[in-house]
A and B are shown apart, each in its own frame.
Chain A
Amino acid sequence: DADVTQTPRNRITKTGKRIMLECSQTKGHDRMYWYRQDPGLGLRLIYYSFDVKDINKGEISDGYSVSRQAQAKFSLSLESAIPNQTALYFCATSESGEGYNEQFFGPGTRLTVL
């Protein structure tokens, strides 16, 4: 079984709709992240959480919100989807601690906003 799972894997929605992307992990990591990737570009950080009580904005948090329901679950919501939020969304996890900790990525969710 995959250590980091994302649901749904694909989603098509309409402008103005509220949608939620979910991420679950079995790695026991405290830190979780949400990224988006646009075609031909690198990943941009949306939000990150270092533990259940910690939520931080990344580079591009406008139009998004998150919820850390438990150590293993981190959800990303688009309150009112717009077409330029069409992208590939990745969840990632990492251990806590000093230095740089390897991030483990989920398979991604392809979101299309019409």
Chain B
Amino acid sequence: LAKTTQPISMDSYEGQEVNITCSHNNIATNDYITWYQQFPSQGPRFIIQGYKTKVTNEVASLFIPADRKSSTLSLPRVSLSDTAVYYCLVGYSSASKIIFGSGTRLSIRP
């Protein structure tokens, strides 16, 4: 099973760019890298997904180096509402291969 390692917590300020890195040394060829956001007492919400290189959508960017052993979620110009827990997942379509770790607790200050 692909296991991920990410920082337990991070702090930043409004308007800053925040980068959260996830390590996944034993990622398999078919695995995708996916990030979710979770607010207190709510279910996780999909943010972005990628397989290699760079993916960008309206809320974030995902950078994946060639060896795919790590990935970085980039949140541009964060606001207080970005305070949440962010989970990095590595997996394929089979649910048994997908594990939510403890996530990174991001706190944004004014």
Question: Which residues of A come within 8 Å of B, CB atoms?
Answer: 4, 31, 33, 35, 40-45, 48, 50, 56, 58-59, 88, 90, 92, 96-108, 110
A107 to B103, CA, bound (A): 19
CB neighbours (8 Å) of B93 from chain A are: 96-101
Residue B13 is within 8 A (CB to CB) of chain A in the complex: no
Chain B interface residue count, CB cutoff 8 Å, equals: 23
Contact B101 A48 (CB under 8 A): no
Contact A41 B95 (CB under 8 A): no
Question: Which residues of B come within 8 Å of A, CB atoms?
Answer: 31-32, 34, 41-46, 49, 87, 89, 91-93, 95-96, 98-103
List the B residue with the shortest CB-CB distance to A35: B100
**Whole-angstrom distance between the Cβ of A17 and the nearest chain B Cβ:** 24
Contact B42 A108 (CB under 8 A): yes
CB neighbours (8 Å) of B31 from chain A are: 100
Can you name 6 extra interface pairs (CB under 8 A) apart from A42-B87, A43-B87? A40-B102, A41-B102, A56-B96, A58-B95, A101-B93, A102-B34
The 7 listed contacts between A and B (C-beta, < 8 Å) are A40-B102, A42-B103, A44-B100, A58-B95, A100-B98, A103-B44, A103-B46
CB neighbours (8 Å) of A41 from chain B are: 102
A100 to B62, CA, bound (A): 16
Given A42-B103, A88-B41, A100-B91, does the pair A58, B49 have CB atoms closer than 8 Å? no
Given A42-B87, A44-B100, A45-B95, does the pair A100, B34 have CB atoms closer than 8 Å? yes
Contact B100 A43 (CB under 8 A): yes
Contact A100 B32 (CB under 8 A): yes
Contact B43 A99 (CB under 8 A): no
**Whole-angstrom distance between the Cβ of B37 and the nearest chain A Cβ:** 11
Contact B43 A107 (CB under 8 A): yes
Tell me which of A56, A102, A110 has the highest count of chain B C-beta atoms within 10 A of its own C-beta.
Answer: A102
Contact B95 A42 (CB under 8 A): no
**Whole-angstrom distance between the Cβ of A65 and the nearest chain B Cβ:** 17
Contact B87 A92 (CB under 8 A): no
Contact B95 A90 (CB under 8 A): no
A48 to B93, CA, bound (A): 12
